[in-house]
Structure 1
Amino acid sequence: MKFEAVHACCLLLALLPNVACADMTLVSEGAPRAIIVIADKPTRVARYAAEELVRHVEKASGAKLEIQAESTVNAGTRPRIFIGDSAAVRKEGINVEKLGPETFVLRVTDEAVFIAGQDGGGEPLEAATMGGTLWGVYEWLDRDLGVRWLWPGELGTHVPKTKTVAAKTCDETTAPRLFQRRLRAGLGFESEHPALGFTKEAAKQFSEEQSIYLRRHRMGRSFPVSYGHAFTDWWEKDGAEHPEWFQLLESGKRGPNKKGGRFSMCVSNPDLQREIVARWTAKRPADATTPGFINACENDILGLCTCEKCRALDGTAPADYLKFYPPTSKMTGSRFVSDRYARFWLGIQQQAPAGVSVIGYAYFNYFQAPTTGIKLNENILIGYCPSAGWFPRSAEEHAWMKQQWADWRATSARLFMRTNHLLDGYCMPFIFAHQFADEFHHAVEKGMVATDYDSLTGHWATQGPNLYTAARLHVRPEASAEAVLAEYYAAFGGAAKAVENYFAYWENYTMGSREKIGQTMESLQASRWRSWAKAAHVLYPPECFAPAAKILDEAARTAGNDAEAAARVKFLQLGMEHARLCARVSSQLSLATSTATKDEIKKAVDELITFRRAHERSGIGNFNHLAWVEDLSWKLSEETKQTPDLYP
């Protein structure tokens, strides 16, 4: 999230360099001086924001600030921190009702601190709840206290210690750069072998801590927006009456090629376009005030219609159309159809009410931009959703991926990031933070308006640099990868350099394994997001862990007497130990090669589950995600179909 802010104090200092603004002391020598004031009937967001402020200031200084309702505050000289809308905030001239969505004012004067923003009425941790005031508190904690949220949970919350806490004088009105900031939580993975996953209480803890983490990185949205594969049930409902709305196959048949099969739409059909607008209009509340979005995202399949009208809309395929897709890809032999989809979205938008946006995906065989010169507009919002381009990439492939974004942006459509690349890597130390950051920076430079990454699989102890970079860039999008990662490493105190070396080892290992990864996945018929555990033992053999373990031993030594830094190094050690164990089990149970007997399966799985039970509250990774991947990757026992609480 880049902030568009008015820095009144900074401007004054630029004009009058000899004038200093006095900071406001909130805690002095470990003793609270200020009180927090909220409205008598605050929003839930404002109350939670005040509580978050108390928590972090106490962790920094040991001093617990008091929260008081505005009507109960006695006259006095104690500094006051006003959180959320209140009479005092309005008297100060801050009208939150006139602020934009999620916008906040952060004002520190000689007499008080004011943090108030545009809040929603829902639960503070819900992504759909606007959190302007909460964003203001996090901005202050970030800048003035130096708080860094490395990973979910208390251990991952880095708050520098200080006996004195002061708020620097400022006056800013700040809005999110991106109207939606989303890392999908990855909490919905379900397996037929749940014993490999979390127990119920551990899953609850993991979920709660991660939800807090995401809000601390200001994940949310400024207004409701809905999209996804839009037409999945249309054939069942409308196929008999309107077969002409659906793909025409080479056989001359309309609709799916088999019962229950996937299908694409006949996007050149003007009646289909009108029907999409009509159905959206019928569902739109008459008194709706939020921006309107029509979901026109194609189903989860290539654009396959062979009718003459659709084909007449197609442009010439770029020379590099299939260059970076493996031979086994669904894309092999496909027709380039981006121009027909661009005209489809434009046709819907032109029939929609003024100001309404149409959402589509750049996906499969319409991922590359149109080649006929068609111009779109700002009311067409396109999700950048490549079906290839997994990290790590060669320099040529990485440049190609960025060029596709630039080419779509050149059509004048707005773009949001909707990749699946964070699903990659299983729980291995699979690091691509620098390449990820470079793509993010390019997208921001070329007009990115929102994100929706699928998904946050939550392997914090092995993939921390990736995940911290992904979260942090939503808050500071222009920050370099080096600056972001320096924040992460600094939280390890005296072990910072060793931890940096540790992850540099794994990033070099990952980036140097590009060809091996592709070849292994193809030869073992493993998916980059679904069945990675088939290949873990090949890509992460025992010998690759030994150098990394030595570096972490050095990190543990250099952490010295810093208990917090030592605990964070131990967190990384647990993550690597778990990854090594998973790779070993993969070598025994991979569906690609396993000849294990029932007893051998039980022995291997028992060892893994014993480790997970011992450390499932540590937060090192999302064990439910792993159970889902392993279900699709390994030869498993019937016993593991029991719930985790019942497994022997």
Structure 2
Amino acid sequence: MELGWHIQKATGFQPAIVTESKVRSASLDKAHVFLGDTHFARKAGINFDALGPESCAIRTIGRHLCIAGHDTPGSPLDENTSAGTLFGAYELLDRYFAVRWLWPGELGTFVPRAESVVVPAQDCVVTPRLVQRHVRSAAGLRAKDHPEMGFTAAAAEEYMSAQAAFLRRNRMGRRIPANYGHAFVDWWQQYGGEHPEWFQLVNGKRGPSRPGGRFSMCISNPGLHEEIVSQWRQHGNGSQEHPPIFVNAVENDIPGQCECDVCKALDGPEPSNYRKFIPSKSKIAGKPFVSDRYARSWQAIQQIAAKYNSNAVVVGYAYMNYFAAPTSGVKLGSNIIIGFCPSSWFYPRSDEDQGWIKDQWQGWAKTDASLLMRTNYFLDGYCMPHIFTNQFSDEFQKASSNGMIGTDFDSLTGHWATQGPNIYLLMRLQMHPDVSASSILSEYYSAFGPAADDVKKYFDFWEAYTSNGRTRLHDTFEALGASRWRSWAKAAHAIYPEESFAPAEALLDRAVSSAKGDQEASMRVKFLQLGLQHAKLCSQAASKLTLGDPDSSYERGKPELQALLEFRRAHERMWISNLNHCAWVESTSWTLPGAAVQSQDPGPE
């Protein structure tokens, strides 16, 4: 029982946990907490039928407390399960016990000690503000060719279980049954022969530019719109009896390329400063600005779907060369959800770039669409101390006050001991978007007890290092042909050379001294030290194995790799990093036996 475990950790007192049937009238002289759909809660007037998904009523009745939520069948760890009562328990622990979940596992669970905890009179209904709070688990990001570089099978299972609990404790979940993603991946194979007009026209040819290649759609085509809605209806989603239904109209993972006259007629004028902000070697540098054709096409699809279900909601992405805000003044309305997904522009950014990105969100918000922050920012950084709390919180909080209804972050790569402040902000802002970043980070640092100030200085050092290295990052990744999300380890040694670690190590040494006498704080500082040691070992291995250097070889880097893998085996259950994600990145970054080859990185799905 989550509530009982945390209360015991805070007070040392183990509360009795019993079914309501065992609570006798005489025992009601003592305080009780009633959880879920109990007779006591119903007698207290809690109307369960009025509680929406993920909602919880928290009410004091005399000396007793009811935590009663909207609960649906299914695993409480599944984000599609409405776990209102569980969320209510976490709300109580958050508000009155000051519990903070920093990273998976007991060491990452900060529960301040208390002789007693006083919960004032309550009568409220609590519902997460964002209808979806989603950070992709990165469960599939592992090296298939070199599994020995990641977790052992048993450790991987334990890690994913601990991470799932961490996500729910931070109240990740959703109350919209939205299924979306690149919608037309296999359509050319299925429909290209009969309906080539549904597909991109490029250089006078419909469909993929080469056999098996990616393709975009002729997004303006009325027949395509009808087919999207027809398939939605065939899957049983067109009934008026159901709540809002989601029509997936997300373009494939490729720039919008159709050159037909109908598509081009829907395009708005390109913003005067657009090319200034497009990276010169990006996938969209030579592509037209096509945001308006996509916006107007989603609008047309929604109008067709609304004939069959007035609640129909169309989902699209603002991505690639249709990421920048439309310029035609189109109004879309809340029944169109747009996943805001910059295909580049990782942190750190120049102040000018940061302002431009926020302007694009604001421009989409002016269409009156519902917006999801659907970004790939957290795929960046590998396992290095790549810290970007200030720019991320600035962007997130601007978005949260301008049309954001939810999130979908790709992905939780899980480098807890080197990127902890980033991840903590990512979690807490989704539940508390109006709380300042400095206040949230103070919570994180306070878990290090008397070493809190030293740990703050340590991460401030790395944030300054990250911010000041913007040009170096760009130039190095370009020179080495490395990707900021898939082959980061090609460049790890260049961005974080061995000498860069010494100042940070000295700062953590100070934290060790400050934490003496506080066992839990000392263990957390040790956790950071292990993360930094792991990052340093990765940098050393990268310097000998990187595919960015033609002189690299497996034999040359074998000692460094062996030292790294021995370290991982010794510490894999500390959860300092998601080692499977490390292995996934390294498998396309380093010269390894068998499978590693230099290749063009596709865009993240």
Provide TM-score, normalisation by structure 2.
0.96
Residue 283 of structure 1 pairs with residue 235 of structure 2: yes
Aligned to 1:497: 453
State the alpha-carbon separation in 2 of the partners of residues 267 and 289 from structure 1.
28
Of the three residues 389, 395, 400, the one matched with 1:444 is 400
Distance 1:99 1:289 in 2: 18
SS in 2 for 1:136: helix
Q: Deviations over 1:15-63 (max 9, x none)?
A: xxxxxxxxxxxxxxxxxxxxxxxxxxxxxxxxxxxx1000000101111
1:128 corresponds to: 80
Q: Does residue 289 of structure 2 align to residue 339 of structure 1? A: no
- Equivalents in 2 of 1:226, 1:249: separation in Å? 30
Further displaced range: 453-462 or 129-138? 129-138
Residue of 15, 18, 23 corresponding to 1:68: 18
C-alpha distance in 2 between matches for 1:388 and 1:446? 22
Counterpart in 2 of 1:153? Answer: 105
- Number of the residue aligned with 1:233: 186
Amino acid across the alignment from 1:356: A
**Which one of 349, 361, 371 corresponds to residue 393 of structure 1?**
349
Residue 130 of structure 2, aligned match among 178, 182, 204? 178
* Cα offset, 1:595, TM superposition: 2.4
1:565-600 per-position Cα deviation (integer Å, ceiling 9, x unaligned): 000000000000110110111111111115245433
Which of 574, 578, 601 is the equivalent residue of 1:618? 574
Of 147, 153, 169 in structure 2, the residue corresponding to residue 216 of structure 1 is: 169
Q: Secondary structure at the match of 1:449?
A: strand
| Change beyond 3 A, Cα 1:573–1:371 | same
Give the drift of 1:607. Answer: 0.8
Shift of 1:261: 0.8
More moved, 288-297 vs 562-571: 288-297
Q: Which moved more, 1:400-409 or 1:73-82?
A: 73-82
**Contact in 1 for aligned 2:537/2:560 (Cα 8 Å):** no
1:8 corresponding residue in structure 2: none
In 2, the alpha carbon distance for the partners of 1:297 and 1:223 equals 17
Which sections of structure 2, spanning at least 5 residues, go unmatched?
Answer: 598-605
Residue 475 (structure 1) shift:
1.5
Q: Whole-Å Cα distance in 1 between the matches of residues 2 and 49 of structure 2? A: 23
Unaligned runs of 5+ in 1: 1-50, 642-648
Check if 1:577 corresponds to 2:542.
no
- What's the secondary structure of 1:223's corresponding residue? coil
Q: Indicate conservation of the 8 Å contact 2:379/2:410, yes or no.
A: yes
Range with bigger deviation, 318-327 or 612-621: 318-327
Instruction: State the AA in 2 paired with 1:246.
Output: F
State the AA in 2 paired with 1:209.
A
Is this contact kept in 1: 2:369–2:403, CA < 8 A? Answer: no
Q: Which of 442, 450, 474 is the equivalent residue of 1:518?
A: 474
Contact 1:82-1:89 at 8 Å conserved across structures: yes
- Partner amino acid, structure 2, of 1:166: V
Give 1:190's match in structure 2, choosing from 127, 135, 142. Answer: 142
Write the deviation string for residues 147-177 of structure 1: whole angstroms up to 9, x where unpaired. Answer: 0111110000000111223322121112221
Cross-structure match for 1:83? 35
Contact kept in structure 1, 2:546 and 2:552, CA below 8 Å: no
Deviation at 1:603, TM superposition (A): 1.8
Task: Tell me the alpha carbon deviations over residues 389-445 of structure 1, each in whole angstroms, 9 at most, x when there is no partner.
Answer: 110011110010000000000011111100000000000000001111111100111
What secondary structure, in the 3-state scheme, does the structure 2 residue paired with 1:519 have?
helix
- For residues 335-382 of structure 1, the C-alpha deviation after alignment (integer angstroms, 9 at most, x for no partner) is 111111111000001111212110100011111111122211111110
Say how many residue pairs are matched: 590
Q: In structure 2, what is the Cα distance between the partners aligned to 1:312 and 1:501? A: 54
- Equivalent position of 1:245 in the other structure: 198
Q: How does 1:268-279 map to 2 (within 5 A)?
A: 268-279=220-231
Distance across 2 between alignment mates of 1:427 and 1:158: 23
Q: Hey, what's the Cα distance between the residues in 1 that align with 2:526 and 2:278?
A: 40
Q: Is the 8 A contact 1:432 1:510 kept in 2?
A: yes
Matched, 1:320 2:276: no
Contact residue 553 and residue 591 of structure 2 kept, 8 A: no
The offset of 1:69, in angstroms, is 1.2
Structure-2 separation of matches of 1:611 and 1:417 = 36
Q: TM-score, normalised by structure 1?
A: 0.89
Q: Are the aligned partners of 1:602 and 1:637 in contact in 2 as well (CA < 8 Å)?
A: no
SS of residue in 1 equivalent to 2:201: coil
Of 462, 483, 488 in structure 2, the residue corresponding to residue 506 of structure 1 is 462
Q: State the one-letter code of the partner of 1:415.
A: L
SS in 2 for 1:68: coil
Give the secondary-structure state (helix, strand or coil) at the position aligned to 1:361. Answer: strand
In structure 2, how many angstroms separate the alpha carbons of the residues matched to 1:284 and 1:225?
A: 14
**1:170-225 Cα distance to aligned partner (Å, 9 max, x none):** 21112221110001111211311111100011111110111000000100001311
SS of structure 1 residue aligned to 2:337: strand
> Residue type of the partner of 1:66?
A
Match of 2:562 among 606, 625, 635: 606
The alpha carbon displacement at 1:79 in A equals 1.1
* Contact 1:359–1:382, Cα closer than 8 Å, also in 2: yes
CA deviation digits over 1:304-349, x for unaligned, max 9? 1111111111111111223223221111111111111111000001
* Structure 2 residue aligned with 1:6: none
Letter aligned with residue 484 of structure 1: I
SS at structure 2 position matched to 1:407: helix
Rounded to whole Å, the distance in 2 between the matches of 1:598 and 1:272 is 50
CA contact (8 A) 2:59 2:66 kept: yes
Q: Secondary structure at the match of 2:489?
A: helix
Aligned counterpart, 1:488 = 444
C-alpha RMSD of matched pairs (Å): 1.4
Percent identity, aligned pairs only, is 52
Q: Please report how far the alpha carbon of residue 289 of structure 1 lies from its aligned counterpart in structure 2 after TM superposition.
A: 2.6
Distance of aligned partners of 1:86 and 1:459 in 2 relative to their CA distance in 1, 3 Å threshold: same
- Once residues 414 and 119 of structure 1 are traced to their aligned partners in structure 2, the CA distance between those partners, rounded to angstroms, is 26
Given the alignment of the two structures, is residue 98 of structure 1 paired with residue 50 of structure 2, yes or no?
yes
CA offsets per residue over residues 55-112 of structure 1, 9 Å max, x none?
0001011111111111121222121111001111111110222211111111124321
* C-alpha contact (below 8 Å) 1:469/1:481 kept by paired residues: yes
What is the match of residue 456 of structure 1?
412
